[in-house]
């Protein structure tokens, strides 16, 4: 197949330190092919994605390399020509469509402005684009503004804008993060069809290996700004030979069976670290020897069929991939002793009913998962339970006593024992307070603790969630996403809750951080804490939950023990959710590939 995209030696350097954020990245990609780029946060994925458009963030510079698309090296173009090439030759789709869509302009205006043709001539092309991405193309839809669309519709409009000028390469940076499984499946199908039907190549950046297994033909694994392994999807995800690739796979939850997740110990390197010597993964690698810390390995072809940057590939391949372990059995939830129950709960927004007669219970020491698509009512239900939603009717019983609907009318002890962890940790952490100060607030409010005893309790809580004491003085913006989420959990834990409501707390985390958070939550359940886990990720539900409640359009359509519901669902809606849930093939290296193929 003729190569359409040839990337060679791309290096992006931090101006302040001179350290390379992306170092010597090279690959080729054919027409119609999709390359998945995976790795933890900080691995250089997004920096590489921007460099492919000839762009670098403030404080960084593309110091070397070539990005050749259809024979044209984008990195040598004058600024004016490069701006024109962004769209006509290479296009970008951001993780958050709000960054690409102007909230004050209609869809018609935004879709036509990039076509550089009179609006009357552009409108037929716009309607064709909307049909291509599976959206309405009538005048009423074109008059809408982004706020009038769902998240999945916004993302498809962003993709339509990206392909409007017929680029040869489209770079998608985490385009399905935060989308429910059904919407994600539609977006992934769209990406595959666009590449096939329009003879267009795609770079798909993601931390979700199951998504990459579904959409990509080639997989590139990045760590510390370098490619550490690359090859076909089959070779990397089944025969992967680099210790980092194997560590990522061990951290991924399975949609088909329950097992312990294995976080990667240590932390990824940052641009503030000293100039590296040897293998960049050596400090976290179980296979590292003295030579690994002094000799930088080259990216070479290995017996697994992949290109691998490792000095010990043969030794790694001789050791079979670790089989996932079943979680340790914890005490069964106390039957007949509910920590919370909801009966005939109804909720509305401005008179429009959202929840309809929802009833369920949570036993002491139990993890109950609330699942469903976006708009199913999961978050509204969570806000009702914690007392943050006003338009609600029904009975809520907590700790054997009925509680008011509004948090402001609840007893102080009830508010302390029922804690909510937001999807975005900024929802529970004051950006102007240090970590220690944020945790001291509830300790003073609920327990009246002084500075010395309060600080002791803060450090104990941070240790419980594996946050070093040295980070207590930092503000949320100075922490990674995973650290912020752990601090939010610690803030809830200092209140000594009886029930935690976790609203999509792992949805935006990379696989290793997600694994560490899931295992932390598992340990809290083992200590007897009860939990409501709101999520669209059924693989995490399989790993963590005891029971499942499935919501569809505000109604409970199925509930029961997690295993039977996820293995043999009774309701068609649940079956559709499970069918749309992606997984990584887990055959041993000798087995033939049987994962879902791209069509």
Q: What is the pLDDT of residues 311-367, one digit of tens each?
A: 999 899 888 776 666 666 565 565 668 999 999 999 998 899 999 999 999 999 999
DSSP helix/strand/coil, 157 = helix
The least confident of 26-35, 91-100, 434-443, 451-460 is 91-100
> Is it the case that residue 566 has pLDDT exceeding 90?
yes
> Is it the case that residue 589 has pLDDT exceeding 80?
no
Residue-wise pLDDT for 405-438, tens only, equals 999 999 999 999 999 998 777 767 899 999 999 9
Band (591; pLDDT cuts 50, 70, 90)? very low
**Global pTM value:** 0.86
Antiparallel, parallel or unpaired: β 499-503 and 418-421: parallel
Domain locations in the chain as residue ranges: 3-89+167-318, 104-165, 342-568
Centre a 10 Å sphere on the Cβ of residue 522 and count the other Cβ atoms it contains: 18
Band (506; pLDDT cuts 50, 70, 90)? confident
> Is it the case that residue 400 has pLDDT exceeding 50?
yes
> Is it the case that residue 223 has pLDDT exceeding 70?
yes
How much is the pLDDT for 597?
37
Band (508; pLDDT cuts 50, 70, 90)? confident
How many angstroms separate the CA atoms of 132 and 175, rounded? 17
> Is it the case that residue 594 has pLDDT exceeding 60?
no
How much is the pLDDT for 522?
92
Percent of the chain with pLDDT over 70: 94
How much is the pLDDT for 149?
85
Spatial CA neighbour of 359 closest among 572, 538, 557, 562: 557
Mean pLDDT for all residues in the chain: 89
pLDDT mean over 230-256: 92
- Contact partners, residue 429, CB within 8 Å, separation at least 6: 435, 438, 476, 484, 487, 488, 491
- Domain 3-89+167-318 in CATH 3.30.70.100? The answer is no
H helices then E strands: how many in the chain? 20, 22
With helix as H, strand as E and coil as C, how does 497-528 read? CCEEEEECCCCCCCHHHHHHHHHHHHHHHHCC
- Domain 342-568 in CATH 3.40.50.300? The answer is yes
pLDDT mean over 97-123: 83
């Amino acid at each position: 197949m003729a190569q359409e995209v040839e990337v060679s030696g791309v290096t992006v350097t931090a101006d302040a330190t001179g350290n390379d954020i992306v170092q010597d990245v090279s690959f080729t990609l054919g027409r119609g092919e999709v390359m998945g780029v995976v790795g933890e946060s900080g691995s250089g994925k997004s920096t590489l994605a921007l460099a492919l458009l000839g762009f670098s963030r403030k404080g960084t510079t593309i110091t070397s390399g070539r990005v050749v698309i259809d024979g044209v090296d984008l990195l040598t173009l004058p600024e004016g020509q490069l701006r024109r090439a962004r769209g006509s030759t290479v296009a970008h789709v951001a993780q958050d469509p709000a960054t690409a869509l102007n909230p004050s302009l209609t869809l018609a205006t935004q879709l036509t402005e990039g076509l550089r043709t009179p609006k009357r001539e552009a409108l037929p092309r716009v309607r064709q684009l909307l049909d291509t991405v599976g959206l309405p193309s009538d005048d009423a839809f074109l008059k809408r503004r982004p706020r009038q669309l769902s998240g999945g519709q916004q993302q498809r409009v962003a993709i339509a804008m990206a392909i409007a000028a017929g680029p040869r390469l489209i770079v998608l940076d985490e385009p399905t993060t935060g989308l429910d499984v059904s919407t994600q499946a539609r977006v992934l199908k769209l990406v595959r069809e666009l590449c096939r039907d329009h003879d267009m190549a795609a770079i798909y950046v993601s931390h979700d290996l199951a998504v990459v297994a579904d959409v990509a033909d080639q997989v590139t694994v990045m760590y510390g700004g370098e490619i550490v392994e690359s090859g076909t999807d089959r070779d990397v995800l089944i025969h992967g030979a680099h210790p980092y690739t194997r560590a990522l796979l061990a951290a991924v939850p399975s949609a088909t069976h329950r097992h312990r997740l294995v976080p990667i110990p240590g932390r990824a390197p940052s641009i503030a670290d000293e100039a590296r010597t040897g293998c960049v993964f050596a400090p976290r690698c179980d296979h590292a020897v003295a030579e690994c810390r002094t000799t930088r390995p080259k990216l070479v072809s290995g017996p697994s069929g992949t290109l691998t940057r490792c000095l010990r590939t043969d030794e790694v391949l001789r050791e079979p991939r670790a089989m996932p372990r079943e979680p340790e059995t914890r005490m069964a939830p106390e039957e007949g002793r509910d920590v919370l129950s909801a009966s005939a709960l109804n909720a509305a927004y401005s008179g429009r009913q959202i929840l309809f007669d929802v009833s369920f219970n949570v036993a002491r020491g139990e993890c109950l998962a609330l699942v469903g698509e976006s708009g199913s009512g999961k978050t509204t239900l969570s806000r009702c339970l914690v007392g943050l939603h006003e338009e609600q009717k029904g009975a809520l019983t907590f700790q054997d006593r009925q509680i008011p609907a509004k948090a402001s009318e609840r007893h102080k002890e009830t508010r302390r024992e029922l804690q909510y962890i937001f999807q975005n940790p900024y929802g529970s952490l004051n950006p102007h307070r240090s970590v220690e100060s944020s945790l001291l607030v509830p300790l003073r409010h609920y327990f009246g603790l002084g500075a010395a005893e309060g600080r002791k309790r803060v450090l104990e809580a941070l240790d419980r969630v594996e946050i070093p004491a040295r980070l207590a003085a930092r503000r949320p913006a100075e922490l990674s996403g995973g650290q912020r989420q752990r601090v939010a959990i610690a803030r809830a834990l200092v209140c000594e809750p009886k029930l935690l409501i976790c609203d999509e707390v792992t949805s935006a985390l990379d696989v290793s951080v997600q694994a560490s958070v899931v295992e932390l939550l598992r340990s809290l359940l083992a200590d007897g804490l009860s939990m409501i886990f709101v999520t669209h990720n059924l693989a995490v539900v399989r790993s963590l939950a005891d029971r499942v409640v499935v919501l569809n359009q505000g109604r409970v359509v199925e509930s029961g023990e997690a295993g039977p519901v996820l293995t043999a669902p009774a309701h068609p809606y649940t079956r559709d959710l499970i069918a749309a849930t992606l997984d990584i093939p887990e055959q041993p290296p000798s087995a033939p590939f049987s994962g879902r193929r791209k069509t």
